[in-house]
Amino acid sequence: MTSLALEMCASRLLGAYFGTSLFIWGNLIGLILLYLMVGYFLGGRFADRYPHTRVLCMITAVAGISIIIIPFVCQSILTWSVTGLEQVSVGIFLGSLVGTMLLFAIPVILLGLVSPFAVRLVTSDVKKSGRVSGSLYAISTVGSILGAFLPVLWLIPTFGVRRTILIFGVVLLAASLWGLLPRWQRVSYILPAPALAILLTIALLIQMGPLKEIPHLIHEQESYYNYIQVTREPDGTRQLILNEGQAIHSVYNPQKQDILTGWYWDYFLAAPYFNKGIQPSQVKRVGIIGLAGGTVARQFTQVYNNVQIDGAEIDPAIVRVGRQYFNMNEPNLHVYTQDGRTFLAASKHTYDIVAIDAFQQPYIPFQFTTREFFTQVRNHLSSTGVVALNTGHTAKDYRLVQAFVNTLSTVFPSVYVFNVPGTINTEIMATMQPTSLDTFRANLSQFSAETTLGQLATEVLPVATRGRVDGGIVFTDDKAPIEQITDQLLLNYILQP
């Protein structure tokens, strides 16, 4: 139970600093398996040499103590990892990642000793060794199930990842100390239950502070899906930051009236203007996949006169944060707390625009990248509908952008690319009807420079280009190597001079 719980908690600790890439998960799972392998090997030898219950309980007691220490030493290592990432230093980045994994080496190796030790202690008759080992492994699997589900469904969202580690460490230590008592004392000993309750209470009351310290923090919490932080900058701007914090997912400043942010969110507002003669009043309904704190929804509400908006956000905690800190309370906004693809499949509405801004940094979830998904989007668009999505590139590597252009071109007749100046963001838009950049420019140019749409035109028109198919990869539900391409982009970014 404890070893599986540690693995779940380790993924959450790393996610707040490194994200949840395949590279991170591969290191986590691979190293934990390595630690368990070492523990299994040593456990068999120790069990044959010291076949005593007290020895096993001493091992698990030390494991419990080493687990209890983790929450108090992890932050300095993880903070160092952030420094390394900001400096784009490969040595510090990889070194801190290995250092983080080493936090779990001692307890997981010690927990690996348990299974062979238990088999050796319980087996008194070789003829029954199969039955005994099978029963022990069945019990162990029940513990693994508890260790997988308890942190995810209850402990981490309720108490946080570090207190969850403390809870499992305390439980393991208490069970180990009880096992170290002589048998007659164990039978008559009444104290373990209240003592355990006191230890758990202390663990829960310990003030751990934020999992990750960042400037201007006003709110932080752990949800089923994310580590959520909200900051308030000196000018009053609130920012929604998720997990490793290398991207800002929503912004809001209650003191400013200007709806444009100067960031990539603004570009979604330009999506309708590929259609000839389009007027703002003709935009009736918008679908947003990846609602976050509602920046895009707030912009559409103000620019398109309370257009009906359906927003999908998988994390209900983000929705609550959006309403509390980002004024995401528009009466025309209908929030769906579910996966964006599931939301779209169940929707009965037709949309003039579908905006996709769903990131589990640094990745776009693969189900929002494929030809089959964009076919589903097309089936929910009006005859003049437009799909717009946010993706990324590096200074010289546009492979991900090109893959999206290739994929969208298999579903839509016209695809357009907007590389947002000064950022690594690229906005891609595709239209239901054959359209042109000339129409797009003519439509936006009609707005006065003093209006919001006129200001938007000065942002988007200089960088608007037509997407060109190059015959390369097309993402499908069967094959969408979004993680592999993104990892290569990140590696190239880190290695570039």
Q: Are 161 and 220 in contact (CB under 8 A)?
A: no
CA distances for 8 relative to 173, 208, 267, 295, 461, angstroms: 19, 19, 38, 32, 46
Q: Which long-range contacts link 363-368 to residues 24+ away (Cβ below 8 Å)?
A: 363/21, 363/482, 363/483, 363/486, 364/389, 364/391, 364/482, 364/486, 366/475, 366/480, 366/482, 366/483, 367/339, 367/341, 367/477, 368/289, 368/340, 368/341
- Residues with a catalytic annotation lie at 357
Question: Residue 245 — φ and ψ, nearest 5°?
Answer: 80, 20
CA–CA gap between residue 268 and residue 289 (Å, rounded) = 12
pLDDT, residue 88, reads: 46
The per-residue pLDDT for range 173-217, each reduced to its tens digit, is: 988 988 887 765 555 455 455 666 666 777 666 777 777 788 999
Question: What are the structure tokens assigned to 372, written together?
Answer: 């089959």
Region of residue 242 (phi > 0: left; psi between -120 and 50: alpha; otherwise: beta): beta
Find the helix or strand (DSSP H, E) in which 382 lies: strand 381-392
pLDDT, residue 22, reads: 65
Can you point out the beta strands (E) in 188-283?
217-222, 227-232, 238-242, 248-252
pLDDT, residue 96, reads: 55
DSSP labels for 262-277?
A: SSGGGGGGGGGGGSTT
Nearest CA-CA partner of 237 in 263, 216, 264 = 216
CA–CA gap between residue 168 and residue 224 (Å, rounded) = 19
Sign, Cα dihedral of 242, 247, 251, 253 = positive
Question: Residue 210 — φ and ψ, nearest 5°?
Answer: -65, 150
Where the chain has pLDDT below 70, the residues are: 19-23, 81-97, 100, 183-199, 203-205, 361-362, 492-497
CA–CA gap between residue 407 and residue 364 (Å, rounded) = 14
CA–CA gap between residue 432 and residue 380 (Å, rounded) = 11
Nearest CA-CA partner of 428 in 464, 384, 383, 452 = 464
Global pTM value:
0.79
pLDDT, residue 243, reads: 84
Question: What are the structure tokens assigned to 315, written together?
Answer: 């994390």
- Which residue matches tokens 């190239």? 492
DSSP labels for 431-467?
A: ESS---HHHHHHHHHTS-TTSHHHHHHHHHGGGEEE-
